[in-house]
Amino acid sequence: MPASSAADAETGDELARLVSLAEADLAAGRDRAALKHARRAARLAPDSPLATLLHTVASVLAADQSSPRATLLLPTSTSSPSPLSPSSLRRHYKSLTKSLRSGASSSFSVASAIKDAIQRADDAYAALSAPAPPPTFWTACAGCRLLHEFDRKYVGFRLMCPSCRRTFLAAEVPPPPEDAQPEEPVPPPPAKKKPRTERREMTLAEMQQQLTDNKRELTLAEMQQQLAKKGAIDDSSVVLLDDDDEEEEEVDEEQNIGTDMMDVEDSDFYNFDADRSEKCFKRGQVWALYGDDDGMPRHYALVVDMMAPGSRFRAQIRWLDLQSDGEEGKPCGEFKVGRLVTVHSVNIFSHLVAYERIAREAYRIYPKKGSVWAFHGGKDADSGRPKYEFAVFLSAYSELYGASFGYLEKVDGFRSIFTRRDIGRDAVQTLQKGDMGKLSHQIPARKVPKDEGSPLPPTDCWELDPASLPFELLQVEQRT
Please report whether residue 5 resides in a domain. Answer: no
- 278/344 same-domain check: yes
CA proximity to 353, closest of 415, 287, 306, 440: 287
Q: Which pLDDT does position 232 carry in this prediction? A: 39
- 184/224 same-domain check: yes
Please report whether residue 6 resides in a domain. Answer: no
Q: What's the domain range around 105? A: 12-74+86-129
DSSP string, 293-352: TT--EEEEEEEEEEPPTTSPP-EEEEEEEE--SS--S-SSEEEEEEEEEEE--GGGEEEE
Residue that is last in its domain, among 365, 393, 415? 365
pLDDT in tens, 451-470: 777 788 888 899 999 888 88
Please report whether residue 258 resides in a domain. Answer: no
Domain count of the chain? 4
Residues 6+ apart with CB under 8 A from 262: 230, 290, 295, 347, 467
- 212/158 same-domain check: yes
Phi, psi of 95 (to 5 degrees): -65, -40
Please report whether residue 57 resides in a domain. Answer: yes
Are 164 and 141 contacting, i.e. CB atoms less than 8 angstroms apart? yes
- 104/188 same-domain check: no
- 324/397 same-domain check: no
pLDDT in tens, 281-334: 999 999 999 875 677 898 999 999 887 766 778 889 999 999 876 566 789 999
How many Cβ atoms from other residues are within 10 Å of residue 423's Cβ? 9
- 403/460 same-domain check: yes
- 148/107 same-domain check: no
Q: pLDDT-derived band of residue 443, with 50, 70 and 90 as boundaries?
A: very high
Residues 6+ apart with CB under 8 A from 136: 149, 150, 151, 152
Please report whether residue 81 resides in a domain. Answer: no
Please report whether residue 389 resides in a domain. Answer: yes
Please report whether residue 80 resides in a domain. Answer: no
Residue that is last in its domain, among 343, 365, 387? 365
Please report whether residue 467 resides in a domain. Answer: yes
Residue positions counted in the chain = 480
Are 268 and 254 contacting, i.e. CB atoms less than 8 angstroms apart? no
- 359/377 same-domain check: no
Q: Which pLDDT does position 103 carry in this prediction? A: 64
Q: Which pLDDT does position 193 carry in this prediction? A: 40
